Amino acid sequence: MDISVTIKNPFGHIKAITSKSYAHRHLICSVLSDAPNFIGITDSSDDIDATIQCLNALGADIVHIENGFSVKPIKTVTKDAMLDCNESGSTFRFLLPITCALGAESSFIMKPGLAYRPITPLYRQLADKGCNLSPEGSIPFNTKGQLKNGIFELAGNVSSQYITGLLLSLPLLKNSSSIILTSPLESSGYVDITIDVLSKYDVEIKRIENGFIIPGNARYHSSGKADVEKDWSNAAFFLCAGALSEKGVTVEGLNTASYQKDRIVLDILKKMGANVSVQSNFITVKRNRLSATDIDASEIPDLVPIISLIASVSEGTTCIFNAKRLRIKESDRLSSTCDMLKKLGASIEERKDSLVIKGKSILDGGIVYSHNDHRIAMTAAIASIVTKDTVTIKDAQAVNKSYPAFFNDFVKIGGITERIK
């Protein structure tokens, strides 16, 4: 699906959607619990649907009801379950160690793009602890054997999803385990979210200087109802739209004390000169004189595309650094961000682990490719605020991965969309 978009002088109010990060974790903890649960997920997506499908295939009973999902835990693990992860890296990397901890002989299927994304560090740890796995990149990817407790060593600067997968699965083993980080932890906010959600199910993770201690034989306890907070990473697109708007854009429902590191978008926008107003449950951002700044991307990889757009129309030169891990996202996100913005007329240079962006007063517009990456597609749409011509986004359906209603909300703030095919 290709879409032509334009928007000038955006103005309006949208409600933030459910946090995908929190939703994945609540769903997984609920199916491992001792009693049914209601999870208040008001907005689903392709990734969340993939996790639900996989958990149901393992023996859970998750049903969509008004304002969320009814979850009945796994009582008996399904033998030879087929788990379709679609394109969800979180689904695959979280459930792979869980199926091993459950001793489930399962087959994971997925889109080729996900199979190509590396899992080597996690793969080695699981294989060393009793799991018989298909070669990396296989479709289907089969698991056999029983995960054993012990010491798991992982680099902290590769993917926090490996750490989360182990934190969710190791409490299922009879004895305690530890995760030792061999390098400083990046994207720590995602690990904080995991530990926060686990604590809500009475599973307590102990932090140590270079890692974590995970209790064995833990009992996941359901309280019967779980509210899921709203998503900062997707709200960031509309907060940044506000930074390009004279009238401003308001986003409702975000938790300013969230463990989600992407809340830092407000600090970045303030530093770059935007007017930011926080009043109770509402955040409004308006344009002011925007200036370049240097940005460390190690904790906020998902913000890089949209912040790069803001930098493209800010005075001065912005450097976004410590961004190496963006190369193993849905696309090589350093390359795809650079390609998309260059095609729109931005002055941007891709380096080994950074982007250097020289600000201009206005961009050109034109045809861009989503690279099958939801964050590239959404950034391109917001870019039409500051382009002379319309923006046509090829494969714009990529937004369905995390934000199926994105273009509906885009229209709410004044956007015009036309489906090309």
- What does the pLDDT average to over 291-313? 96
Q: pTM for this structure?
A: 0.94
Q: State the DSSP H helix or E strand holding residue 407, giving kind and residue range, or none if neither.
A: helix 406-412
Helix, coil or strand: residue 51: helix
Q: State the DSSP H helix or E strand holding residue 14, giving kind and residue range, or none if neither.
A: strand 11-15
- What does the pLDDT average to over 159-175? 96
Query: Does the pLDDT of residue 284 top 70, yes or no?
Result: yes
Residue 183 CB-half CA count within 13 A:
10
Mean pLDDT score of the chain, rounded to an integer? 95
Return the closest-CA partner of residue 300 out of 138, 189, 415, 169: 189
Q: Tens digits of per-residue pLDDT, 190-203?
A: 999 999 999 999 99
CB 90 within 8 A of CB 72: no
Ramachandran region of residue 54, left (φ > 0), alpha (ψ -120 to 50) or beta? alpha
Distance CA 118, CA 162 (A): 11
**C-alpha distances in Å from residue 146, one per residue of 80, 99, 100, 284:** 14, 9, 6, 51
- What does the pLDDT average to over 39-63? 96
φ and ψ of 279, to 5 deg: -130, 105
Candidate list 47, 231, 262, 302, residue with the active-site label: 302
Domains and CATH numbers, the chain: 3-17+230-419 (3.65.10.10), 20-227 (3.65.10.10)
From the centroid of its chain, how far is CA 184? Answer: 21
Per-residue model confidence (pLDDT) at position 339: 96
Amino acid at 95: L
Band of the pLDDT at 157, cuts 50, 70, 90? Answer: confident
Distance CA 68, CA 259 (A): 22
Distance CA 338, CA 350 (A): 6
Q: Label residues 350-368 b or e (16+ Cβ within 10 Å = b).
A: beebbbbbbbeeebebeeb
Per-residue model confidence (pLDDT) at position 421: 66
- What does the pLDDT average to over 226-247? 97
Q: Tens digits of per-residue pLDDT, 246-278?
A: 999 999 999 999 999 999 999 999 999 999 999
CB 26 within 8 A of CB 51: no
CA angle 121, 124, 126 (to 5 degrees): 110
- What does the pLDDT average to over 370-393? 96
Band of the pLDDT at 330, cuts 50, 70, 90? Answer: confident
Q: Which residue has the tokens 């009582």?
A: 75
Ramachandran region of residue 231, left (φ > 0), alpha (ψ -120 to 50) or beta? beta
Report the percent of the chain where pLDDT is more than 90: 93
CB 241 within 8 A of CB 269: no
- What does the pLDDT average to over 335-361? 96
Query: Dihedral angle at the C-alpha atoms of 157, 158, 162, 167, nearest 10 degrees?
Result: 0
Distance CA 365, CA 377 (A): 14
Whether 302 sits among the annotated catalytic residues: the reply is: yes
Per-residue model confidence (pLDDT) at position 83: 98
The count of other CB atoms within 10 Å of the CB of residue 81 is 20
